[in-house]
Amino acid sequence: MKAVQVVGYDQPLRLTEVPTPEVTGPYDVIVRIGGAGVCRTDIHILEGQWAEKTGVALPYTIGHENAGWVHAVGSAVTNVAEGEKVIVHPLITCGLCRACRFGDDVHCEQSLFPGIDTAGGYAEYLRTSARSVVRIDDCLEPADVAALADAGLTAYHAAAKAARSLRPGDRCVVIGAGGLGHIGIQVLKALTPAELIVVDRNPDAVKLAVSIGADHGVVADGDHVQDVLDLTGGHGAEAVIDFVGEGGATRDGVRMLRRAGDYHVVGYGENIDVPTIDIISTEINFVGNLVGSYNDLCELMVLAAQGRVRLHTSKYPLENFQDALDDLDAGRIRGRAILTP
Question: For the chain, which ranges sit under pLDDT 70?
Answer: none
203 & 67 share domain: no
176 & 238 share domain: yes
Q: What pLDDT does 254 receive?
A: 97
What is the SS3 string spanning the chain? Answer: CEEEEECCCCCCCEEEECCCCCCCCCCEEEEEEEEEEECHHHHHHHCCCCHHHHCCCCCEECCCCEEEEEEEECCCCCCCCCCCEEEECCCECCCCCHHHHCCCHHHCCCCECECCCECCCCECEEEEEHHHEEECCCCCCHHHHHHHHCHHHHHHHHHHHHHCCCCCCCEEEEECCCCCHHHHHHHHHHHCCCEEEEEECCHHHHHHHHHCCCCEEEECCCCHHHHHHHHCCCCCEEEEEECCCCCCHHHHHHHCEEEEEEEEECCCCCCCCCCHHHHHHHCCEEEECCCCCHHHHHHHHHHHHCCCCCCCEEEEEHHHHHHHHHHHHCCCCCCEEEEEC
114 & 32 share domain: yes
Q: What pLDDT does 333 receive?
A: 86
CB 341 within 8 A of CB 33: yes
> CA end-to-end span of the chain, whole Å?
10
18 & 113 share domain: yes
8 & 124 share domain: yes
13 & 60 share domain: yes
Q: What pLDDT does 178 receive?
A: 87
Q: What pLDDT does 51 receive?
A: 87
15 & 138 share domain: yes
| Residues of the domain holding 323 | 2-150+291-340
28 & 110 share domain: yes
Total domains, the chain: 2
Q: What pLDDT does 52 receive?
A: 86
268 & 302 share domain: no
CATH number at residue 57: 3.90.180.10
7 & 78 share domain: yes
CATH number at residue 202: 3.40.50.720
130 & 28 share domain: yes
Q: What pLDDT does 236 receive?
A: 98
CA atoms within 13 A on the CB side of 274: 22
306 & 279 share domain: no
